[in-house]
Structure 1
């Protein structure tokens, strides 16, 4: 066994129950364990929340979305759309017309986002992660249906069982010169709401999904589209398909995956996770100050032992190694316990949902957690750095003991 480690382990396993240094070492170990456990649990919760948000947005957003680089719409032809469909990896291509419109149901009015989609929109696995009530259908050209967000249905007081009132949509148009007829200033179409979806508040409060032909008539878009949404085949890499589409479409269009469509939100979550990690690491460092004090007191108490070792031929580097390894034993014992307890707590939460969100109509009942190996590695690295910083100064002091004065 390594001599420095052997001596450090003997100091750590001291049997003097009333030795204050031993008690302080145990307190240091508990502090490191609690700090490490908190780091693992909090980072896993942030991972779970990020994963949950991604899955919810993926239920509404396309895997790949094509938009114009300039302006909000672009002209399409069937030949051009077919060339995109022939791109390797493209399984479903959905045409989209999206803009704000005024909606009215009964006596209630609301400005919401109208999203006109082609018939294959529902083939992309939409609303799989959310809550859906009613009929999941967009109807036909003769009888169009609307799928309404829960927030929109609340504001408009939409009742799916009401067969007498229809949802009215209004969209402004350029008035003819000299006309004083108010009806010439807008287009009006009606359709029946048949389904209500709930995915995420941003979508629930804004969106009404309608057939593409309905949006074309209401907005006079003709062959113009605001976006194309693409579902990628399961056996293809989304990143490769995205690169191929960007090369084919050129700089006139942007191609975004689900993360890029909500880059600012995901960046906010990751920044919050980073700042929480830094904050908890500082707390862990404060807890590790006990290691510094316990090793400093140990160096003072063991001056005679150190002098004996030096007189027997021990080098300063050996003395330093003893105290640094003593600090490492304290910190790593606590870190190991903290990592293990944090892992068990996260596993119990993921398996049994011990801590509830406290929201009755939520998509998930309990706090989501997701353990990642990188979090365990960075936490362990933090403990190593903090331990070295806390142990180095006491080890340096101990190595400078004068043999003649303490023998």
Structure 2
């Protein structure tokens, strides 16, 4: 019974931590990602025409359009260099304030006194040794050109542009180590896109149904574009979390199943120990069904008490962690100081059903053996 209780509590705690991790990622991405994103169905860019802009704005519920140009580029600072994702954003991105809580150094700005600025991830700052206090050293970006064969001048093979670092953000490692945000005009010139965009990020009215807006937008844009909501933009990540949670559930259920062998042997020993009493029941006219029910009831008691106490222990620890953050991450630079936990009722339901089923099944064979005991004369 104790083993069942501990296994149930451990399963509830682990599942709650996975829920908390998913919720933490949603909160991180939710503060930065736009509710809707428009991407080309084929290729990596499209021409952003006035007609396309009017189509998007005609959808009820869309408040703002952020134009985006995103691609890989080589960045160099002093003697260090690395490949990064350069993401050019239109000026309204700053006005939306989606990164205002993520900036750790400098300012959230793209333009100041006719000088363009870049906002870089903290990981990139560490790798390149970028100093915001150095007003004489700029970030150098290099992007390969689509030149014809036979060109002799090496400068014809790539375009180059400089920009000053204006701020450092810390959002999430994937962004911190790879992304540099710059003005849209800077990226358009560096990549020579000439009116092309790689995506559109749309801000919507929070009081309206997001899925309805998404469906209406997808219908008016047609098959040439794909419209993604915030969850679909990171669908692979959330899918991995759900798969990991499923495998953890299966593994812990197997552990409880192995632990339930103790219940099997305990009931088997009880059958041997109570053999005279079983014989007395048969002598008094008790049917096999009654004897079988007695031992099945014994297994059910173990199952319900073990699962019930485990659910209570798991809920108590998860609630304490969610409320007071008892167990810390142990990393000073982590996004959250304590392990995130989220309690979901369905986890308790499926865990209870699984644990009770496993432990109850372990009591079937001893109950059948007890009912097959011959009538012992008293």
CA contact under 8 A between 1:97 and 1:215: conserved in structure 2?
yes
Give the structure 1 partner of residue 331 of structure 2.
359
CA contact under 8 A between 2:18 and 2:341: conserved in structure 1?
yes
Q: 1:149 aligns with which of 113, 121, 130?
A: 121
Q: 2:92 aligns with which of 120, 123, 127?
A: 120
Task: Please say if 1:76 is aligned against 2:61.
Answer: no
Structure 2 distance, partners of 1:34, 1:361, is 33
Give the structure 2 partner of residue 49 of structure 1.
21
CA contact under 8 A between 2:120 and 2:179: conserved in structure 1?
yes
1:273-309 Cα offsets, whole Å, 9 max, x none, are 1111111111111222222122222222323333443
Q: 1:295 aligns with which of 264, 267, 288?
A: 267
Structure 1 distance, partners of 2:256, 2:360, is 13
Deviates more, 1:52-61 or 1:212-221: 52-61
Give the structure 1 partner of residue 298 of structure 2.
326
CA contact under 8 A between 1:319 and 1:398: conserved in structure 2?
yes
Give the C-alpha shift of residue 383 in structure 1: 1.4
CA contact under 8 A between 1:303 and 1:406: conserved in structure 2?
no
Structure 1 distance, partners of 2:274, 2:100, is 66
Q: 2:231 aligns with which of 219, 234, 259?
A: 259
CA contact under 8 A between 1:56 and 1:129: conserved in structure 2?
no
Instruction: Show the 5 A alignment for 1:170-185.
Output: 170-175=142-147, 180-185=152-157
CA contact under 8 A between 1:357 and 1:367: conserved in structure 2?
yes
Distance 1:315-1:160 versus aligned 2 partners, 3 A rule: same
Instruction: Show the 5 A alignment for 1:207-246.
Output: 207-246=179-218
Give the C-alpha shift of residue 52 in structure 1: 1.6
Deviates more, 1:139-148 or 1:293-302: 139-148
Aligned residues between the structures: 378
Structure 1 distance, partners of 2:284, 2:197, is 86
Q: Unpaired runs of 5+ in structure 1?
A: 1-28
Give the structure 1 partner of residue 164 of structure 2.
192
Structure 1 distance, partners of 2:70, 2:113, is 18
Structure 1 distance, partners of 2:46, 2:129, is 35
Structure 1 distance, partners of 2:324, 2:64, is 37
Give the structure 1 partner of residue 345 of structure 2.
373
Distance 1:143-1:271 versus aligned 2 partners, 3 A rule: same
Task: Please say if 1:384 is aligned against 2:356.
Answer: yes
CA contact under 8 A between 2:42 and 2:224: conserved in structure 1?
yes
Structure 2 distance, partners of 1:276, 1:203, is 28
1:221-260 Cα offsets, whole Å, 9 max, x none, are 1211001112222112222222222212222111122222
Structure 2 distance, partners of 1:36, 1:389, is 16
Give the C-alpha shift of residue 103 in structure 1: 2.1
Task: Please say if 1:276 is aligned against 2:248.
Answer: yes
CA contact under 8 A between 1:59 and 1:199: conserved in structure 2?
no
Deviates more, 1:100-109 or 1:32-41: 100-109
CA contact under 8 A between 2:307 and 2:356: conserved in structure 1?
no
Give the C-alpha shift of residue 110 in structure 1: 2.4
1:15-42 Cα offsets, whole Å, 9 max, x none, are xxxxxxxxxxxxxx11111101110111
Structure 2 distance, partners of 1:215, 1:360, is 35
1:154-212 Cα offsets, whole Å, 9 max, x none, are 22221112122222222222347775433333323222211101112211111110111
Give the C-alpha shift of residue 318 in structure 1: 2.6
Give the C-alpha shift of residue 128 in structure 1: 5.8
Deviates more, 1:180-189 or 1:39-48: 180-189
Give the structure 1 partner of residue 70 of structure 2.
98
SS for the counterpart of 1:144 is strand
